[in-house]
Amino acid sequence: MSIADNISYVRSRISAACNTAGRNADDVTLIAVSKTKPVSMLQEAYDAGCRDFGENKVQEIMEKYDKLPSDIRWHMIGHLQTNKVKYIIDKVYMIHSVDSTRLADAISKEAVKHGVTMKILLEVNVAGEDSKYGASVDETGELWRYAASLPGIEVCGLMTVAPYTDDPETNRQHFVVLRDIIVDINRENKDNNIGVQLSMGMTGDYEVAIEEGATYIRVGTGIFGERDYSV
């Protein structure tokens, strides 16, 4: 199957999941996760209608950015070091992986310096896995209050990378946790204009994530095929 075929297949499954959940398919944004893939493949996805691309390395965003159309919205979805924020602050549309006050501070500082407002999501380690980045469920409310108080930052919602699984149903509980946290935060901040974006669901589990309220799903393998890290 071509990349265009893969995208239309994923889109049809998004529609079906939205139908099941009684949601509008326009409320779910598909992010094509293009890490490790060459620019030519991203261009194919672009030609098939994708405008949102996800990358997890600063260097890779910098390399791809100038070679592709300027109306692409780049999503930084990987762990971000504070000293690299400056390279992407005027390139990315949203940073999904903010998991510390230090990183929030660094983003705020660079955003102010560049005169921009950076959209961010807070990454939550919902399953408490040692191998994963992200704030703990308990820390998230405080991190939100802190980040929301900083200039140059718009806190738009939450992101999680759920455990790897062969059975997407096992991740439903984690998606529910992420949604519950944002419901709590919104209740607490009902006077403010608070974000409600939920970035959750990958190739193996995006339909379950949509049923539980995902507004961004991040699909790599399902669009571009398996990644080869050996090259």
Ligand X SMILES: *Cc1c(COP(=O)(O)O)cnc(C)c1O
The site for ligand X (CB under 6 A) is made up of 33, 35, 56, 77-78, 161, 202-204, 218-222
Q: How far is the CB of 171 from ligand X (least distance, A)?
A: 12
- Strand residue runs (E) in 2-152: 29-33, 52-55, 73-76, 94-98, 118-123
The helix or strand, by DSSP H or E, that contains position 159, with its residue range, turns out to be strand 153-159
Compute and round to an integer the Cα radius of gyration of the chain.
17
Q: Who contacts 132 (Cβ-Cβ below 8 Å, separation ≥6)?
A: 125, 161
Phi then psi for residue 40, to 5 deg, are -60, -35
Which 3 state secondary structure label does DSSP give 191? coil
From the CB of residue 53, how many other CB atoms can be counted at a distance below 10 Å?
24
| Nearest to ligand X of 168, 204 (CB atom) | 204
Nearer to ligand X, 30 or 182 (CB): 30
Q: How far is the CB of 35 from ligand X (least distance, A)?
A: 6
**Smaller CB separation from ligand X, 157 or 222:** 222
**Rounded distance between C-alpha atoms, residue 142 and residue 140, angstroms:** 5
DSSP at 163: P
Sorted by sequence, the CB contacts under 8 Å of residue 197 that are 6+ apart come out as 121, 156, 157, 158, 215, 216
192 vs 221 by CB, closer to ligand X: 221
CB of 150 to ligand X, least distance (A): 23
| Smallest gap from residue 187 Cβ to ligand X (A) | 28
Q: Of 11 and 109, which has the nearer Cβ to ligand X? A: 11
Min dist CB 141 to ligand X, Å, is 22
**At its nearest, how many Å lie between ligand X and the CB of residue 115?**
29
Closest CB to ligand X: residue number: 220
Nearer to ligand X, 107 or 214 (CB): 214
HSE at residue 193, side-chain half, CA atoms within 13 A, is 1
